[in-house]
Amino acid sequence: MKKIIIIGGGAGGLELATDLGDKLGKNNQAEITLIDKNSYHLWKPLLHEVATGLLDEQVDNIYYASQGLQHYFQFTQGTFTNIDRENKQIIVTDHKDQTISLAYDILVIAIGSTSNDFGTPGVKEHCIFLDDQNAAIHLRETLITKFTSFCSIIDEHESIDADKIRIAIVGGGATGVELASELPHMIEAFGACGRNKMCSDLLDVSVIEATDRILPALPAKTASSITQTLQKCGIHVLTKTMITKAESDGFYPKEGDVIKADIMIWTAGVKAPDYLKEIAGLESSRSNQLMVKPTLQTTRDDNIFVIGDCAYAMQDSGRASPPTAQAAHQMAKICYENIIRILNNQSLKSFKYIDSGTIISLHDTAQGVIKLLGKNEMGVKGFLALMIHRILYRIHQASLLGLFKAIRFAIASKFMYKTKSTSIFTNRD
């Protein structure tokens, strides 16, 4: 029986494991194994909501082992470190810290991306990155600890003359903007749990961007409108501000004074993990992504597919498909079809990225553009945009859990949103 291993149960990998399990694993046509360093999946575009307490990772997660049982794939928890292409084996450090080798006939690498500090001194030491669920939980704990100690200072001095809580986010892309937009609401929710002096006026949030505007993936008009929305919430948007180093007191721009910060967050770009750069003689891009052919097989080994953020898939436009959940989802679908085609000795399909638009969620509203059939662009704003943004997540859930279960999750989530932040923010004094 063919052995198919998928490494990384994220936006692309878990959809692929589920589809292949249902198609091949169920009838013992192939043995499907998913490897992930974590025990559960949480959709990465929701990480800023986990970090700000809006979403409880205990509610919206999917355990790989249980998903595997229901969809006929095996799950091994461990960290992938290398490939032995000659013997068709991958090397994994398992959760007991032991090195194991697993044999494959077809391998799919779907390990996503990490933050890119572009070698900026001090960033690794002083900044929080929003790379995975553990980082999001760490950021949430850091924010709550800061809010709690600030609250004690206010109570002690019976005044709110103390300095504000300064939070600086480098990177005016979707992650930085969505995270910034949630912070004023987070402190209000924290204040509503019995600390009524805590309010958004006490926050000093800056989004720092090197280029002349935030959100380069969106039209300038939409980005400007989102800038205004952020500014109305008291968030500073500092454009044309190139950060050259980070120190414990804040960010140092190329020109001008230090931007002082109590909490420093870096969301300025992504790269594939460094160890992919030279892995097993495969061809990689400048940002460590593995180069793939239109079929999503690596340029140097047809037995290895790469999907999602860690794949460099050149498009007819002369640019690679973007590192988004949208692209990871589309790649998972083509990779699924191509693996079935390999087993049936059929010719393989080419991956062509279809851009359906970009929507930025801004707490209780959203704004962006949608593209009909990947072409005609249409601006969307407000409730409609927020619904479309939410639907993207529900589509992902439906492809993992089935439509009815996804609807049940959506209904449960709707009611839980009202109580989640309360449980996260109480009993912290």
Ligand X SMILES: Cc1cc2nc3c(=O)[nH]c(=O)nc-3n(C[C@H](O)[C@H](O)[C@H](O)COP(=O)(O)OP(=O)(O)OC[C@H]3O[C@@H](n4cnc5c(N)ncnc54)[C@H](O)[C@@H]3O)c2cc1C
Where does this chain bind ligand X (CB under 6 A)? 7-13, 35-38, 44-45, 47-48, 79-80, 110-112, 130, 132, 174-175, 178, 308-309, 323-326, 328
Residues 220, 377 contacting (CB under 8 angstroms): no
* Nearer Cβ to ligand X (44/195): 44
Q: What is the DSSP string of 130-164?
A: --SHHHHHHHHHHHHHHHHHHHHHHHHHTSS-SPP
Q: Characterize 219-234 residue by residue with b for buried, 16 or more Cβ atoms within 10 angstroms of its Cβ, and e for exposed.
A: eeebbeebbebbeebe
Distance separating alpha carbons of residues 113 and 327, to the nearest angstrom: 13
Facing residues of 381 across strands? 367
Of the pair 111, 230, the CB lying nearest ligand X is at: 111
Q: How far is the CB of 142 from ligand X (least distance, A)?
A: 16
Least Å from the CB of residue 115 to ligand X: 9
- Rounded to 10 degrees, what is the CA torsion of 46, 335, 217, 260? 40
CB of 79 to ligand X, least distance (A): 4
Please state the φ and ψ torsions of residue 397, each to the nearest 5 degrees: -60, -45
CB of 133 to ligand X, least distance (A): 8
Residue 81: name the closest of 71, 73, 68, 92 by CA: 92
Q: Which residue is nearest to ligand X (CB)?
A: 10
Q: How far is the CB of 40 from ligand X (least distance, A)?
A: 9
Q: Which amino acid is at 280?
A: A
Nearer to ligand X, 19 or 309 (CB): 309
In the complex with ligand X, which residue's Cβ is closer, 202 or 355? 355
Angle at 44 between CA 41 and CA 50, to 5 degrees: 90
Nearer to ligand X, 25 or 323 (CB): 323
| Minimum distance of ligand X from residue 66's CB (angstroms) | 15
Nearer to ligand X by C-beta: 151 or 223? Answer: 223
